[in-house]
Structures are given as structure tokens and as C-alpha cells.
Amino acid sequence: MPYKLLFVCLGNICRSPSAENIMNYLIEQNNLGEEIICDSAGTSSYHIGSSPDRRMTAAAAKRGITLQGQARQFDALDLHEFDIILAMDKENYRDILSLDPQGRFQHKVRLMCDFCRHHPDAEVPDPYYGGVAGFDYVIELLLDACGGLLADIQSGQFQSADVKE
């Protein structure tokens, strides 16, 4: 069974689709398409059905990464469906866990920046209201975090007990 990763931000048009597509890019480079499946979602319903933000798409394109997908809202069923759920910030993390009042899936939910190897950030900042530099920075941060996450998965850091209920 492949690992199923879900990346979550607020609106699912900037950070989480970037993380999903960066991870897919790294998965493809490492010929792991059969082993890891990615998706993304937002904790809000603001942008359901929308494509990734054009500014985020431009920032990713500078690194040779194409952003694809349509925004969807995170659902409590995602807690069952995915092995690892990666929140972009602490507010997203709390919003995800609020759908799990018994705490049965808390072990699956992690902060994306926990996997950074080079950046000291605790959260992935939301670039939506900022300028180009913010979008570029988020791509760099997510490349670091996704690379660390992939390395942890490949090294067996996540045992089946960690990711299965």
C-alpha cells in the first residue's frame, strides 16, 4: 500500500497545492510514484474548485515545477483516508484536530516545517497578501520540507504503526 500524504492550508490555492506538486515532482524524480500518493486541501471553503494561485504558479515555474489541481475543503473523512496529514501552520493544525475530538488521528497530523532540514521556520507563511518574494520564499521552504519528508519516508522513519490507525 502506498503512503497517502495530504497537505493542508487555509484556502488550498497557495501553500498546500504547492507542497503537493513539489512532493509529486520529488516523487517522480526518485521513481516513487507507486509508493507515495499526494493530495491537498484547505480548512476553509473560500476557494473550492479554484486552480492554484497564479503568483504561486509563477514562483513554482521558476524552479521547473508545474502546479496543478483544484481546491477542495478538508473533510473529517480525510483523517481516515490519509496516512500523514501535513498542516502548513499552527492554525491549520488546530483546525484539522478540531475534526478529531477523540484524538484518534492526532498521530497522523504534523506541521510541514517539522521536516525542514535547512530553514528554521516553525510554520509555512501564507504569501497570499504579500509580494513576489513571499511566494518565492514559500517555494524554497516547501522544497526543503518536502525533501526532508521524502527522506524520512524513504529511511523508514514512518513505520506502519505511525501512519495506520
Give the active site residues: 9, 15, 126
Q: Count the alpha carbons within 13 Å of 8 in the hemisphere toward its beta carbon.
A: 30
C-alpha torsion 63→112→14→73, nearest 10: 140
Helices (H), 62-98: 76-81, 90-97
Pairing of strands 36-42, 109-111: unpaired
Q: Which three cell numbers stand for residue 108?
A: 497522523
